[in-house]
Structure 1
Amino acid sequence: MPSDSQSNVAAADALTLLLHNQHALAAAIEEVTAWLAANGVGTVADNAVGALETLDANAKAITDAIMRLRQ
């Protein structure tokens, strides 16, 4: 059975990969949001901005958890 330290490293590594995925999704949503706004679909663009805000808030919490695990 792995030690707590090894488990923490594995968990931090997995969270880091998820965080990278989250950043990639946010970048894609930003591109779609810009296109929507430029093409007169402001309401949908506003909803996408709300999704981006959620991703940003969660990214901060994930980053904090990664840092705690790596200590």
Structure 2
Amino acid sequence: MPSTSESNIATADALTLLLHNQHALGAAIEEITHWISGEGADIVADNVVAALGTLDTNANAITDAIMRLRQA
């Protein structure tokens, strides 16, 4: 059975990969939002920007969890 420290490392590693995916998705969505906004669909662009805010908030929480796991 793996130790708690090993489990924390594995969990932190998995969360780190998910966080990288979240950042990549956020960047892609932001690029699409710029394009949509340029096409005159400002309401859609505003909704996407709000969703990106949620991604940022969650990314901060994930980062905090990763740091706590790595320090344990």
TM-score range normalised by the length of the shorter chain: over 0.9
Report how many residues are paired: 71
SS at match of 1:44: helix
TM-score using structure 2 length: 0.97
Tell me the percent identity: 73
Deviation track 1:17-64 (CA, whole Å, cap 9, x = no partner) reads: 000000000000100100011110001000100110000000000000
Which residue in 2 is equivalent to 1:61? 61
Structure 2: gaps (5+ residues): none
Runs of 4+, deviation exceeding 2 Å: none
TM-score using structure 1 length: 0.99
Distance 1:33 1:19 in 2: 21
Q: Cα RMSD (Å) of the superposition? A: 0.3
